[in-house]
Amino acid sequence: KAGVTQTPRYLIKTRGQQVTLSCSPISGHRSVSWYQQTPGQGLQFLFEYFSETQRNKGNFPGRFSGRQFSNSRSEMNVSTLELGDSALYLCASSPSPSGGYNEQFFGPGTRLTVL
Amino acid sequence: QKEVEQDPGPLSVPEGAIVSLNCTYSNSAFQYFMWYRQYSRKGPELLMYTYSSGNKEDGRFTAQVDKSSKYISLFIRDSQPSDSATYLCAMSARGKLIFGQGTELSVKP
């Protein structure tokens, strides 16, 4: 079974621009979560989608948004980029929502650099 | 104060050493406790998870949870250079996974 794939792997943008990152979950997985990883803050939860609906959201500004398609693929968008948005963005999929425990399988991440 | 605290290290040990990694937490609602391993330029992968207080062993790895002290540990026996990675503790409650800062471990041959 193919793992979680994320595209692109690397991205360089300038302040003020917007960016869209893509995630394809493991086949059959319907839950997709997004995380931001930085050296200073570590891994922080952005949001989770299940069956095209956002189920949970972390403490990030409204510039960060996401969506999920009917085939479970997900995208996240960051508008009006700031220098502090430079980070590794990780996507994780699981078979069902994270209400109890469900193992999350992570992709390799998209490294975003904002200049 | 962060909900989950983890010493970021770095931690350097000789091959064969016993490694102890620890996290403390403040939220009593956490029900599931996990340890992830992250190699450079890769996403985290699940090593172990536990639900209740006590020990859980898997090969060279032992996870320990003490809910009364809000303290979890991961022990690695007979550490190998291939164990060199960042180890992240994680805890879940109400559908959210909260991670520690991660401890960078280096095992020297």
- What span, in angstroms and rounded, lies between the C-alpha atoms of B108 and A89? 30
Q: Read off the pLDDT of each residue in A13-31 and give the average, rounded to a whole number.
A: 96
Mean per-residue pLDDT of chain B: 92
pLDDT higher than 80, residue B59: yes
| Pairing, β B32-38 against β B45-50 | antiparallel
CA-CA distance, B107 to B109, in Å (whole number)? 7
Preferred mutation among A4, A43, A57 to probe B, highest tally of B CBs within 10 A = A43
Cβ-Cβ contacts under 8 Å, A103 against chain B: 46, 49
Inform me whether the pLDDT recorded for A99 exceeds 80. no
Q: Which chain A residues contact residue B100 at CB under 8 A?
A: 42
Q: Tens of pLDDT along A81-98? A: 999 999 999 999 988 765
- C-alpha–C-alpha distance, residues B65 and B71, integer Å: 6
Helix, strand, or coil (residue A50): strand
The partner residue sitting opposite A107, judged by closest CB among B43, B49, B88, is B43
Percent of chain A at pLDDT > 90 equals 78
Q: How crowded is residue A10: how many other Cβ atoms within 10 Å of its Cβ?
A: 9
Share of chain B above pLDDT 70, in %: 98
Closest by alpha carbon to A48, among A4, A93, A86, A3? A93
Whether A98 and B96 lie within 8 Å, measured CB to CB: yes
Mean pLDDT of B66-91: 95
pLDDT band at A73 (very low <50, low <70, confident <90, very high): very high
| Per-residue DSSP letter, A84 | G
Across the range A45-60, mean pLDDT stands at 91
Residues of A in contact with B46 (CB under 8 A): 103-105
Looking at residue A98, what is its pLDDT? 58
Tokens linked to B22 = 């620890």
